């Protein structure tokens, strides 16, 4: 129903198409941020991991 409404309403059609195009960019950004967080987590464990002792 939303897609039928989007076909008859040009501004909604434009909005849906723009949102569809930005999903790919947001996915790439999420992937890059995840890699950066992972690298900093590994660096933090290498630097400060020896300070943690299990009791």
**Is 13:7 a contact under the CB 8 Å cutoff?**
yes
- Over range 4-18, report the average pLDDT: 81
Greater model confidence, 54 or 13: 13
Determine the Cα–Cα distance for residues 24 and 7; give it in Å rounded to an integer: 23
Write down the pTM of the prediction.
0.58
Residue 52: per-residue pLDDT: 73
Query: What is the number of residues in the chain?
Result: 55
Query: How large a percentage of the chain has pLDDT more than 90?
Result: 36
């Amino acid at each position: 129903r939303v897609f039928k409404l989007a076909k008859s309403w040009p501004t909604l059609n434009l909005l849906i198409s723009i949102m569809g195009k930005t999903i790919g960019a947001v996915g790439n950004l999420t992937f890059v941020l995840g890699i950066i967080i992972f690298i900093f987590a590994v660096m933090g464990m290498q630097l400060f991991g020896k300070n943690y002792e299990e009791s």
